[in-house]
Every structure is written in structure tokens, then in C-alpha cells.
Amino acid sequence: MGESGLRDAGRLVVPAVGAVVEAPGDRVLPVRLVGADGAEIAAVTEFLLDLRACGGSAGSARSYVLALLRWFRFVNCTKSYW
């Protein structure tokens, strides 16, 4: 941290942990988010299933899962667990 107590975002390195896993045979949920250990992140799967049940498209689910992957990577990198 710098003198002001803030992190220098220009020096932040976000490791590529976790992944989006395609499931092309699954018409309900064609994507999954897995953590660094390869295990499916259940809370994200539940959210995506709810999204699909409410009429969200497979494309919307994919978009959300990619955004959540970036978010989880950032949270992991900055140790900002919530």
C-alpha cells in the first residue's frame, strides 16, 4: 500500500484462477463457473438456474458467468472477501 493507505491499481496482478466450463449438451445451463480447485461454485449455479427459470437466455447466463469470473478473480486477488 502507498502512503495514503490505498493500493496502486496499476501494479495489481490478477491471477487467472477459476474458469468458465462449457456444457454444450445442457440446454438449461450451458455454462458453469468453477473455482481454483475445479469444483463448481454452487451459489453461482443457483443464480444462473434462477435466471434461466425467469426467462433469461443462455447468452445472458454466459455473460453473467464471465462477469462473475472476473469479479471472483478480483476479490481473490485483493483479499476483499465478503
Give the CA distances from residue 32 to residues 8, 23, 73, 76, in Å, rounded to whole numbers and listed in that order: 32, 7, 15, 18
Judge whether 4 lies within some domain.
no
- Output the pLDDT for position 39: 95
Judge whether 7 lies within some domain.
no
- Output the pLDDT for position 72: 87
Range of the domain at 58: 18-78
**Which 3 state secondary structure label does DSSP give 48?**
helix
Q: In total, how many domains does the chain have?
A: 1
- What the block records as the C-alpha cell of 74 is 478480483
Reference 64, options 73, 51, 80; nearest CA is: 51
3 pLDDT exceeds 60? no
4 pLDDT exceeds 60? no
Judge whether 56 lies within some domain.
yes
Judge whether 13 lies within some domain.
no
16 pLDDT exceeds 90? no
Judge whether 8 lies within some domain.
no
pLDDT per residue over 26-72, tens digit each? Answer: 999 999 999 989 999 999 999 999 999 999 999 999 999 999 999 88
- Whole-model pTM over 0.85: no
